[in-house]
C-alpha cells in the first residue's frame, strides 16, 4: 500500500508460502505454519497472510496445535481470524465470534470479511462503523475501504459523512471519494478525475473543511446542516 499526496493504492493480500520454497519433506505443515506467523516488513507491507495451505495439509494433531497457537496469539491481528476461519472448528468459530469485540478495528473488520456468516448484520455494521472511526492510514485503512465498497447500509454512509468533519485530512480525502461513488456521482471508489476536489479535504483548518464539506453536500444532495 503506497501513499501519494494522501491517496491510497490498495495492496493485494496473499498467503505467506515462502517457507514452502524449502524441501517439502524437510519440514512439517505445523513448522511451515509457525514460520509463516513471523511477520516482517514485506509481509506487513504487502498484506501477506499466514500459510493457509499448511492448514489444509496438517494432520489432526498438527491442526489442533495450530488452532491453539491462533487462539493464544497476542496481540491478535487479521491473519489470525483468516486462519481460524480456514480451520472452522467449533472452538475456532467461537473465538472468531468473540473477536467482534476486539479493541483493534482491523481485527473486528477481519471477522466481517472472513466469517460474516458468524455475526449478525447489526454486528457487521457496527464493526465497519467502528473501523471508520478508529483505523489509520497504513494500518488497515485500505481494507476498511474495500469492506465499505461491498457493504454500505445507511449507517455506514452516515459514518463516512461525519468522518469528513472529524477524521484527519488524508482519511477525509478517501471518505469523500467513497461517498461520491456510493451516491452515484462516480463510477469507481476513487474517481481520479475529481481528485483535485477530494484533495481539498486534506486540511486541518476547520473553516476550510466546513467549506468543502458544504460543497460536497450540495453536489450529493446531502443536508449539510444535519451534520454541522
pTM flag (> 0.75): yes
Q: CA 195, CA 204: separation in Å to the nearest integer?
A: 18
Domain ranges of the chain: 11-151, 153-228
Residue 10: the pLDDT is: 43
Contact 174, 190 (CB under 8 A): yes
Q: Which residues of the chain have pLDDT under 50?
A: 1-6, 8-12, 19-23
- Give me the percent of the chain exceeding a pLDDT of 90: 82
Enclosing H/E stretch for 4: strand 2-4
The position carrying cell 462516480 is 186
- Is residue 161 reached through a cis peptide bond, with omega within 30 degrees of 0 on the bond before it? no
Residue 222: the pLDDT is: 97
Residue 13: the pLDDT is: 55
Using DSSP's 3-state secondary structure scheme, residue 7 falls into strand
Phi-psi region of 102 (alpha: psi -120 to 50; beta: other; left: phi over 0): beta
130 CB-near residues (< 8 Å, 6+ apart): 105, 108
Residues paired with 7 in a beta bridge? 4
C-alpha grid cell for residue 112? 466481517
Which stretches does DSSP call E strand in 85-124? none
Note the residue count of the chain: 228
Q: CA 137, CA 169: separation in Å to the nearest integer?
A: 11
Residue 23: the pLDDT is: 46
DSSP labels, 8-32: EEPPP-EE--GGGGS-TTTS-HHHH
Amino acid at each position: 500500500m503506497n501513499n501519494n499526496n494522501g491517496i491510497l493504492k490498495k495492496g493485494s493480500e496473499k498467503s505467506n508460502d515462502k517457507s514452502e520454497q524449502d524441501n517439502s519433506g524437510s519440514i512439517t505443515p505445523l513448522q511451515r505454519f509457525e514460520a509463516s506467523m513471523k511477520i516482517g516488513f514485506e509481509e506487513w507491507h504487502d498484506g501477506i497472510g499466514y500459510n493457509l495451505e499448511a492448514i489444509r495439509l496438517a494432520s489432526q494433531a498438527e491442526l489442533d496445535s495450530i488452532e491453539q497457537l491462533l487462539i493464544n496469539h497476542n496481540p491478535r491481528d487479521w491473519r489470525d481470524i483468516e486462519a481460524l476461519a480456514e480451520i472452522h472448528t467449533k472452538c475456532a468459530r467461537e473465538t472468531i465470534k468473540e473477536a467482534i469485540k476486539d479493541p483493534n478495528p482491523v481485527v473486528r473488520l477481519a471477522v466481517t470479511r472472513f466469517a460474516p456468516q458468524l455475526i449478525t448484520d447489526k454486528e457487521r455494521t457496527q464493526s465497519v462503523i467502528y473501523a471508520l472511526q478508529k483505523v489509520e492510514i497504513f494500518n488497515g485503512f485500505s481494507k476498511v475501504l474495500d469492506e465499505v465498497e461491498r457493504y454500505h447500509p445507511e449507517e455506514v454512509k452516515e459514518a463516512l459523512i461525519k468522518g469528513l468533519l472529524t477524521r484527519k485530512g488524508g482519511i477525509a480525502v478517501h471518505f469523500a471519494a467513497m461517498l461520491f461513488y456510493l451516491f452515484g456521482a462516480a463510477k469507481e471508489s476513487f474517481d481520479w478525475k475529481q481528485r483535485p476536489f477530494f484533495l481539498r479535504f486534506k486540511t486541518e483548518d476547520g473553516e476550510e473543511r466546513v467549506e468543502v464539506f458544504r460543497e460536497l453536500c450540495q453536489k450529493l444532495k446531502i443536508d449539510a446542516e444535519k451534520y454541522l
